[in-house]
C-alpha cells in the first residue's frame, strides 16, 4: 500500500495491522486528523514525517506498531503524539532532525549511520535501541530516559554524542549510552536508595581542567578525558562507574581510582578496577554525593603520564599553514612526540615526530613547535601523541583549525528590536540552521537557510517579549555558534 505525500482530513483514520504502509516522499499529517497505527503495522516514510496543526498521531497500546522514517520528524506545538507501545525508527541515509514536540516516546531506535540530531528535548518511557549511528544532543535539546526506560546495543558505532538524562526511583543501575565520535565511553550510576532523582551525564574527549589541584591520596588525573555528571533534581547519592578504552592510557589497574572534582581539588573516590589495560571499568569505592566532573586518577603514579603537558595549540598562518606548539613542565622517560592530523576529528594520521628536548627527562619547561604546510581544506583537527621509552603512549586534547567551509562572521544588531542579520562566509554552497530559545529553553523559532559560495547576509526576525534569547546557528559542515541576543522593542 502506498501513501502519496500527505494525509489531510477532518476525520479519524485507523491503520490496521498486518501490512506495511509506505509513504512516498513525505508523510504529512496536516489537518485535524487522528491517525492511529495499530499493532503489527509498519508505516514507512521515504521522506519527512510531520504531525502538524491540531492533528493527533496515535500508536496502539498493544504489541509494537512501527513508524519508520528516512527524513526529519516534526511534531507541532499544537499537535499530539501518543506513543502507546509504538516504535519510532530512524532509517535514513543522511542526518535526521528530531522534534517530537515535547511528547513522550515509548520505543526509539536509530538505524542510520549518518545519525539523528535532537532539535527539541524528548523523553523515552521504555527503550532506546542503538543499532547504527549516533544521536546528537545538547543541554537544551536533551534525551531523557524515564524511570523504567533502558538503553540497548550502545557501542562505538552507535551511542549519544552529548548529554543524556535519566530519572531514577529505584536502586537499579543505569549505564548512560554516551561517547564521542566513533568511541563509546559509558558512565554508569547506581542509586543507593529509592528517592526520586534525576542525573545527567556527558562524556568529553579532552583533558579536564585544574589537573594540578590534587587532594590527599591522589597522584595524578587523566589528561585524555572526563565525564560531566550532575544531579539535576532529587537528593539520592549513588555509585559512579567509569569505563575506559585503549586511548585512556591505563597501565596498572591496582593503582587506578575514580577521581572527582569538588570545586577546589581533585579528590580520591576510590574503587577497584576490573578488565585490562585496553578496556575495563571501575566503580567508586562508595556512594558519591558530589556531582561535577569525574575522570580516571591514580595513586601512586603508575598510570600517570610520563609528560606533564601544560599547553597544546594549533593556529592558522596566512591561510595556508598551521603552527602547532606545545609546552611541557616535566618529562620522565620521554622519547618523542608525534603531531597527528585528522579530517573528521576521529581518524588521525601522523604529520611528523619531534624528539624530546630534555633527553628524556626534564624538570624545566620545554617549548616545542612544528609547522604543518599541508592542512586539509576546510577543517583540520590536531592532536599530540607522546611516546615513552617503553612504548607507552598518551594523547593531548584536540585543537581545531578552519580554513574553508561555512563560517559565521557576525550576528547583528544586538541588542535588537527583533530583526537579526547573520553574515556568512562560505567556500561552498551549503545551509545554516537558525534556532532561537527563550529563557527557559523552549524553541520559539527554527529555520534553515540556503547559502552560496562567497559572502552571504541572511535576515530573520525574533518575535517575542523583551528579554534575553539564546540563538544557535549550525552550519552544514558541522560548526556550532551560540549567541545571547537581547530583544528591546
pLDDT digits (tens, 9 = 90+) for 387-429: 888 787 778 878 988 876 677 878 899 999 999 999 887 777 8
pLDDT digits (tens, 9 = 90+) for 184-226: 999 999 999 999 999 999 999 988 999 889 999 898 899 889 9
Model pLDDT, residue 207: 85
Domain boundaries, the chain: 2-302, 307-402, 406-487
* Calpha distance 368→347 (Å, rounded): 24
Q: What is the DSSP string of 362-386?
A: BSS-EEEEEEES-PPSSEEEEEEEE
CATH code: domain 406-487 is 2.60.40.10
Would you state the pLDDT for residue 38?
Answer: 64
Q: What is the pLDDT of residues 73-104, one digit of tens each?
A: 998 888 888 888 999 999 999 999 999 988 89
pLDDT at 10 (0 to 100): 33
- Name residues whose C-beta falls within 8 Å of residue 301's C-beta, 6 or more positions apart in sequence: 219, 220, 255
In this prediction, residue 39 carries a pLDDT of: 64
> Rounded mean pLDDT of 290-308?
79
**pLDDT over 70 for what percent of the chain?**
89
**Percent of the chain predicted with pLDDT > 90:** 50
Choose the most confident range, by mean pLDDT, from 36-45, 262-271, 392-401: 262-271
Q: Which pLDDT band, with edges at 50, 70 and 90, does 27 fall under?
A: low
> In the predicted model, is pLDDT for residue 56 greater than 70?
yes
Better-scored residue on pLDDT, 21 or 237 = 237
Per-residue pLDDT at 175 exceeds 90: yes
The reported pLDDT for the residue numbered 302 is 55
Three-state secondary structure of 192-225:
CCCCCEEEEEEEECCCCCCCCCECCCCCEECCCC
Give the pLDDT confidence score for residue 303 in this predicted structure. Answer: 54
Outline where DSSP puts E strands in 83-149. 87-90, 96-99, 105-111, 116-118, 122-132, 135-136, 143-145
Confidence at 6, pLDDT banded by 50, 70, 90: very low
Residue count of the chain: 489
User: What CA–CA distance (Å, rounded) separates 217 from 222?
Assistant: 15
Kindly tell me if the per-residue pLDDT of 32 is higher than 60. Answer: no
CA-CA distance, 87 to 158, in Å (whole number)? 18
Query: Given this model, what pLDDT does residue 1 score?
Result: 35
* pLDDT score recorded for residue 319: 62
- Domain 307-402 carries which CATH code? 2.60.40.10
Q: 307-402 and 406-487 share one CATH topology?
A: yes
Where does 15-116 have alpha helices with state H?
none
- Tens digits of residue pLDDT in 421-438: 998 877 778 899 999 998
Task: Read off the pLDDT of each residue in 285-313 and give the average, rounded to a whole number.
Answer: 83
pLDDT of 486 strictly over 80:
yes
Q: Which of 120, 111, 119 is nearest to 90 (CA)?
A: 111
Is the Cβ–Cβ distance between 51 and 102 less than 8 Å?
A: no
Q: Output the pLDDT for position 378.
A: 72
Tens digits of per-residue pLDDT, 332-358?
Answer: 888 999 999 998 877 889 999 999 998
pLDDT value at residue 40? 63
**Chain-centre distance of CA 268, in angstroms?**
27
- Over residues 456-475, the pLDDT tens digits come to 899 999 988 898 999 999 98
pTM: 0.64
Residue 238: what pLDDT? 98
Amino acid at each position: 500500500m502506498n501513501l502519496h505525500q500527505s494525509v489531510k482530513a477532518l476525520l479519524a483514520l485507523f491503520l490496521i495491522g498486518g501490512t506495511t504502509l509506505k509513504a512516498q516522499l513525505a508523510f504529512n499529517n496536516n489537518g485535524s486528523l487522528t491517525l492511529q497505527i495499530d499493532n503489527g503495522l509498519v508505516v514507512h516514510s521515504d521522506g519527512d514525517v510531520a504531525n502538524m496543526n491540531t492533528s493527533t498521531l496515535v500508536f496502539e497500546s498493544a504489541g509494537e506498531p512501527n513508524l519508520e522514517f528516512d527524513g526529519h520528524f516534526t511534531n507541532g506545538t499544537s499537535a499530539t503524539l501518543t506513543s502507546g507501545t509504538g516504535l519510532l525508527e530512524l532509517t535514513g541515509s543522511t542526518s535526521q532532525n528530531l522534534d517530537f514536540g515535547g511528547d513522550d516516546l515509548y520505543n526509539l531506535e536509530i538505524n542510520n549511520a549518518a545519525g539523528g540530531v535532537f532539535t527539541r528535548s524528548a523523553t523515552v518511557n521504555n527503550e532506546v535501541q542503538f543499532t547504527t549511528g549516533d544521536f546528537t544532543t545538547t543541554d537544551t535539546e536533551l534525551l531523557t530516559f524515564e524511570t523504567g526506560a533502558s538503553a540497548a546495543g550502545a557501542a562505538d558505532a552507535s551511542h549519544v554524542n552529548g548529554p543524556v538524562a535519566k530519572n531514577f526511583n529505584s536502586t537499579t543501575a543505569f549505564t548512560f549510552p554516551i561517547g564521542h565520535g566513533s568511541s563509546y565511553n559509558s558512565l554508569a550510576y547506581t542509586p543507593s536508595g529509592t528517592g526520586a532523582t534525576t542525573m545527567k551525564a556527558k562524556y568529553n574527549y579532552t583533558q579536564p581542567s585544574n589537573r594540578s589541584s590534587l587532594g590527599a591520596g591522589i597522584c595524578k588525573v587523566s589528561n585524555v578525558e572526563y565525564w560531566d555528571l550532575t544531579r539535576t533534581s532529587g537528593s539520592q547519592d549513588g555509585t559512579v562507574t567509569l569505563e575506559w578504552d585503549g586511548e585512556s592510557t591505563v597501565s596498572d589497574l591496582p593503582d587506578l581510582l575514580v577521581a572527582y572534582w569538588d570545586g577546589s581539588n581533585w579528590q580520591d573516590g576510590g574503587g577497584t578496577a576490573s578488565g585490562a589495560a585496553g578496556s575495563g571499568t571501575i566503580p567508586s569505592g562508595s556512594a558519591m554525593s558530589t556531582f561535577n566532573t569525574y575522570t580516571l586518577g591514580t595513586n601512586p603514579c603508575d598510570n600517570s603520564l610520563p609528560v606533564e603537558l601544560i599547553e597544546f595549540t594549533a593556529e592558522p598562518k596566512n591561510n595556508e599553514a598551521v603552527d602547532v606548539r606545545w609546552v611541557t613542565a616535566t618529562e620522565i622517560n620521554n622519547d618523542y612526540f608525534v603531531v597527528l592530523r585528522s579530517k573528521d576529528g576521529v581518524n588521525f594520521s601522523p604529520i611528523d615526530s619531534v624528539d624530546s628536548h630534555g633527553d628524556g627527562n626534564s624538570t624545566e619547561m620545554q617549548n616545542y613547535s612544528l609547522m604543518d604546510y599541508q592542512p586539509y581544506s576546510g577543517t583540520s583537527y590536531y592532536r599530540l601523541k607522546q611516546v615513552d621509552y617503553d612504548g607507552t603512549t598518551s594523547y593531548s586534547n584536540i585543537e581545531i583549525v578552519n580554513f574553508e567551509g561555512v563560517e559565521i562572521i557576525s550576528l547583528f544588531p544586538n541588542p535588537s528590536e527583533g530583526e537579526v542579520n547573520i553574515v556568512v562566509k562560505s567556500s561552498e554552497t551549503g545551509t545554516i540552521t537558525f534556532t532561537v530559545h527563550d529563557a527557559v529553553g523552549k524553541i520559539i523559532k527554527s529555520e534553515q537557510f540556503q547559502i552560496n559560495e562567497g559572502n552571504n547576509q541572511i535576515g530573520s526576525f525574533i518575535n517575542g517579549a523583551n528579554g534575553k534569547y539564546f540563538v544557535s546557528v549550525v552550519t552544514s559542515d558541522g560548526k556550532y555558534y551560540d549567541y545571547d541576543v537581547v530583544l528591546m522593542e
